[in-house]
A and B are shown apart, each in its own frame.
Chain A
Amino acid sequence: MAHSREDKHESAPHSGQAAPEVSRRGFLAQGTAALAGASAVAAALSPLRHLAPGDVPTVEEFFQKHYKEMTDEEKRQVFARIRQAAEKRFGVELDLADPPPMDGVEFVYGLNISRCIGCRRCVHACVEENNQSRAPEIQYIRVLQMEKGSINVETADHHYDPPLVPDADKYYMPVQCHQCAKPPCVKVCPVEATWQEPDGITVIDYDWCIGCRYCEAACPYWARRFNFAEPEIPQEELNPNTAYLSNRPRQKGVMEKCTYCLQRTRVGRMPACVEVCPTGSRKFGNVLDPESEVAYILQHKRVYVLKEDVGTIPRFFYYFDERGSRYREPITADGPGGDA
């Protein structure tokens, strides 16, 4: 509570009869102070000189509309711009498509945990197909090595690296975006940058996302990824067959996730992870078609979903069939229970 004695110097208001020489000196002093302040602010802003040309949005990019509001002409212009930017950045000619959802189609994924051996080929095939960043590493699929007897992911191991898989005591559960029917990520996005399409795929408009990462916090399956840095993709590994809503090259500051390879599946092809799986554990198709593989699986196999209690109604089913485990003993006629 001490009061300074210095107030004597500046106590009473003056009537402001300033002599010219004082005001000149005063002006110089204030000018110096102002200049010092200005230079300090400029120095604080100086790291911005390292901004890459692509980081500062152009006028068209700034006013680009949400995907759902763009007319066909606007989409054409936007795609042309994206192709140009990709050519500049990677030197690759992109084949940027925009396949619409097919009528009467709802995509569903089946994963046979009796057969998955945890080899992680799906992870890397996905990375190549979907132009994911290699540094920092982004992988949509995460394979969990689960303890037998437990479906609790708390006891799972993500970083297993034995010389051979499968480990006989474990089972393997790859997790990726489940394209839930009640997606919590869509609920929480403040700008509607992510939404669910009629064929069940939850998509992201990378040019609309503001990068708040609320969807990443909301996802119960840890399926969404954020570009913390500018994604780095080796030029020779860039996949030019891209779509606006799925695997076109992204920039830093936006979210991305598995889209069931909609650049492939919306033209009738299988996703990359299905095509590479050596044991054929991955099944994909249109659940509305009663003759499809996935319809058969859902009808006849013991199917379950992960974290059902969260109420997301995933479109990704795990199932198991007769063979479930890696047996240790060979089958012989005189084994236990035999007639010998």
Chain B
Amino acid sequence: MKKYATFLWDCFRLSFVGDWRYHLWMTILTLVALFGLYAYCQQLVYGLVTTGMTDQVSWGLYIANFTYLVGLAAAAAMLVIPVYVYRNMHLHDVVIFGELLAVAVIIMCLLFVMADLGRPDRFMHLFWRFNFPISMLTWDVIALNGYLLLNLHICGYLVYCAYCGRRPSPLFYVPFVFIAIVWAISIHTVTAFLYVGLGGRPFWNSAIIAPRFLASAFAAGPAFIILTLQVVRGCTRHRVSNDALLTLRRIVQVAMIINLFLLACEVFTEFYTDSAHVESARYLYFGLQGHRALVPWIWSAVAMNLAATALLVLPASRGLRVLNVACVLSIVGIWIEKGMGLIVPAFVPTPLGEVVEYFPTSHEIAICLGIWAFGLLLYTIFVRISVPVLAGELTYEKRAAAPRVEAAPTREGNLAKE
């Protein structure tokens, strides 16, 4: 117990230590997060009228970001499957970063949901009357929190064992890893089912939403991890092999192709049928009755996704520069099509045919940026802690031998080699 407390203490201290680039990054994130907190306090005072949401479009940027981030969290499993199921050892050393990303991202998801609630002080009501198994939101609550706990356990156990200098016992983490694989798929499926089960919203009431969610998640998630692994490689001493990046590239490649195929299926079904149910899709791609707010966004997203897929298919993307461009394109493109391009059009037109557009307000954007900043802050801290601990530089023994020693190197990116 004392060891565990010391471990937490050392982690806490370590997260404040770093070079000027680290401090700059963390300060910027802190400032953005504080600004988001300020905007959220205003939302608590005035109500959700500070956002751009209305009775007509009652879910907006918060739920859009939530949907996207659940996909990102699910994609952490995409690192785990090759290693534990297919014994692909290229990714073995970087699995932990995927798991840590999952923890940070799930916390962001929960924060987005809290920000969206009209009465967040009443979320305890979920414990007293829980409409399980009928309401899909209850499944989502269980799935997200369970996934958070699973990943916290796996990462915490591995890092703590490294801190204690002992080998982690497979019994305490391998079964959880396999559960996490299945659970990762299910969190995103459950989130998709939130939307799919609503008969009054024909834009969502389609079986293809869940597979599209998974395909786009497995494209955006590994793309994000490719980028963060390069940052880890540049800023810490942790070794990230190019093979790991190329394996991830392969995953993103296949997932993007599947995503584009599913997009084509959806577009064909909507526009070839040309029934009254196509109005939401028509609003998204072409505008409706002169309202065209989302049209430039979705076409940019389509262009970005196409460009990303093309780049990924080309051998040129084996080079990191092109790969990074493709990753950024796919991350942004999928964010647009899955966030704004999925949530908002289902509300336009309303079930009674009224067309009211949605424009996020500056408060809403500030809160979203604040939560993103906070999540990145958490992830940076996690990486900052886990790299030295896993490398064996910060352990309980070393600490116990020299009590006032700052055992971890205070400057990351110290030396290229040991």
Docked-complex contact B200 and A6, CB < 8 angstroms: no
Question: Please, how many angstroms separate the alpha-carbon atoms of A55 and B121 in the complex?
Answer: 10
Structural contact, A57 and B118, CB atoms closer than 8 A: no
Instruction: Tell me, rounded to whole Å, the shortest Cβ–Cβ distance linking A269 to chain B.
Output: 28
Contact, CB under 8 Å: A188 / B42: no
Shortest distance between the CB of B326 and any CB in chain A (Å)? 19
Q: Which of A46-54, A80-88, A92-100 contacts B (4 or more CB under 8 A)?
A: A46-54
- Asked if B258 is at the interface of the complex by the 8 Å CB criterion, the answer is no
Q: Which of B124-162 contact A (CB under 8 A)?
A: 125-126, 128-131, 134-138, 141
**Would you call B6 an interface residue if the criterion is a C-beta within 8 Å of the partner chain's C-beta atoms?**
no
- Asked if B382 is at the interface of the complex by the 8 Å CB criterion, the answer is no
Given contacts A62-B121, A210-B118, contact A48 B45 (CB under 8 A): yes
Task: Please tell me if A3 contacts chain B, counting CB pairs below 8 Å.
Answer: yes
Closest B residue, CB atoms, query A213: B58
**With A1-B233, A218-B200, A254-B118 in contact, is A229–B135 under 8 Å at CB?**
no
Cα of A310 to Cα of B194 in the assembled complex, Å: 17
CB distance from A69 to the nearest CB of B (A): 8
A222:B34 contact, CB within 8 angstroms: no
> In the bound complex, how far is the Cα of B58 from the Cα of A1, in angstroms?
45
| Chain B residue, CB-CB nearest to A48 | B41
- Residues from chain B with Cβ under 8 Å of A52 in the complex: 45
B346 to chain A, nearest CB (A): 8
B38 and A227 contact, CB distance less than 8 A:
no
Inter-chain contact A153/B351, CB cutoff 8 Å: yes
Whether A191 and B129, one on each chain, are in contact in the complex, defined by CB atoms closer than 8 angstroms, is: yes
- Which residue of B45, B58, B276 contacts A152 across the interface (Cβ within 8 Å)? B276
B405 on interface, CB distance cutoff 8 Å: yes
User: How long is the Cα–Cα vector from A198 to B48 in the complex, in angstroms?
Assistant: 33
Contact A191 to B131, CB < 8 A, known contacts A14-B406, A15-B402, A156-B352? yes
Any A CB within 8 A of the CB of B291: no
Q: Which residues of chain A come closer than 8 Å to B138, judged between CB atoms?
A: 190
Q: Cβ of B353 < 8 Å from any Cβ of A?
A: yes
Q: Which residue from B46, B137, B234, B407 sits with its C-beta under 8 Å from A212?
A: B137
* Nearest CB on A from B290, distance (A): 14
Query: Of B54, B122, B352, which is within 8 A of A142 by CB?
Result: B352
B197 neighbours in A (Cβ, 8 Å): 188
Knowing A13-B405, A40-B34, A48-B45, the reply to whether A211 touches B135 (Cβ < 8 A) is no
B416 at the interface (CB under 8 A from A): yes
Does A254 lie within 8 Å of B119, measured CB to CB?
A: yes
Q: Is there a chain A Cβ closer than 8 Å to B85's Cβ? A: no
Min CB–CB distance A181 → chain B (angstroms): 14
The contact string, 1 if C-beta is below 8 Å from chain B, for chain A 189-232, is 11111000000000000001111111011111110111111100
Task: Verify B118–A192 contact, CB threshold 8 A.
Answer: no
Q: Known contacts A190-B130, A192-B131: does B49 contact A11 (CB below 8 Å)?
A: no
Pick from B200, B279, B402: contact of A220, CB under 8 Å: B200
What is the 8 Å Cβ interface bit string for chain A, positions 1-13, against chain B (1 contact, 0 not)? 1111011011101
Is B141 touching A218 in the complex (CB atoms < 8 A)? no
Given A3-B415, A7-B414, A11-B409: A213 and B59 interface contact (C-beta under 8 Å): yes
Verify if A26 is at the interface (C-beta below 8 Å from B): no
Say which residue of B21, B30, B34 sits within 8 Å of A4 (CB atoms).
Answer: B21
Do B199 and A220 have beta carbons less than 8 Å apart? Answer: yes
- What residues of chain B lie closer than 8 Å to A65, measured between beta carbons? 128
Q: Is A240 an interface residue (CB 8 A)?
A: no
A246 CA to B138 CA, complexed, in Å: 26
The answer to whether B410 has its CB under 8 Å from any CB of chain A is yes
Contact check, B121 vs A7: say whether CB atoms are below 8 A apart: no
| Partner among A46, A136, A158, A252 whose Cβ is within 8 Å of the Cβ of B118 | A252
A217–B58 contact, CB under 8 A? yes
Give Cα A9 to B409, complex, Å: 11
Q: In the complex, what's the smallest C-beta–C-beta distance from A161 to chain B, in angstroms?
A: 15
Do the beta carbons of A7 and B54 come within 8 Å of each other?
A: no
Let me know if A16 and B55 touch, CB within 8 A. Answer: no
Listed residue (B31, B35, B117, B354) with the most chain A CB atoms within 10 angstroms of its CB:
B354
Within 8 A of B (CB), among A153-196: 153-156, 158, 175, 184, 187-193
Q: Cβ of A302 < 8 Å from any Cβ of B? A: no
**Contact A1 B116, beta carbon cutoff 8 Å:** no
Asked if A16 and B405 make an inter-chain contact with CB atoms under 8 angstroms apart, the answer reads yes
Asked if A340 is an interface residue, CB under 8 A from chain B, the answer is no
Question: B192-208 toward A: CB 8 Å interface, digit per residue (1/0)?
Answer: 00100111110000000
Residue of A nearest to B343 (CB): A217
Which residues of A are found within 8 Å of B279, using beta-carbon distances?
154
Q: How far is the CB of B349 from chain A (nearest CB, A)?
A: 6
Please tell me if B2 contacts chain A, counting CB pairs below 8 Å: no
B349 with A154: CB separation less than 8 A: yes
Q: Is the CB of A7 within 8 A of B349?
A: no
Of the candidates B34, B125, B347, the one whose C-beta lies within 8 Å of that of A193 is: B125
Closest B residue to A229 using CB positions: B49
In angstroms, how far is the closest chain A Cβ from the Cβ of B193?
11
Q: A-B pairs with the 6 shortest C-beta distances?
A: A211-B118, A220-B200, A253-B118, A16-B404, A153-B353, A229-B49
- Provide a sorted-by-A list of 8 A–B residue pairs whose CB atoms are within 8 angstroms: A3-B413, A144-B353, A154-B279, A158-B352, A190-B131, A190-B137, A214-B137, A218-B201
Interface residues of B (CB under 8 A from A): 19-21, 30-31, 34-35, 37-38, 41-42, 44-49, 51, 53-56, 58-59, 113, 116-123, 125-126, 128-131, 134-138, 141, 194, 197-201, 233-234, 276, 279, 346-347, 349-354, 402-407, 409-411, 413-416
- Given contacts A37-B30, A48-B45, A228-B53, 5 further A-B pairs with CB under 8 A are A155-B353, A188-B135, A193-B125, A228-B48, A228-B49
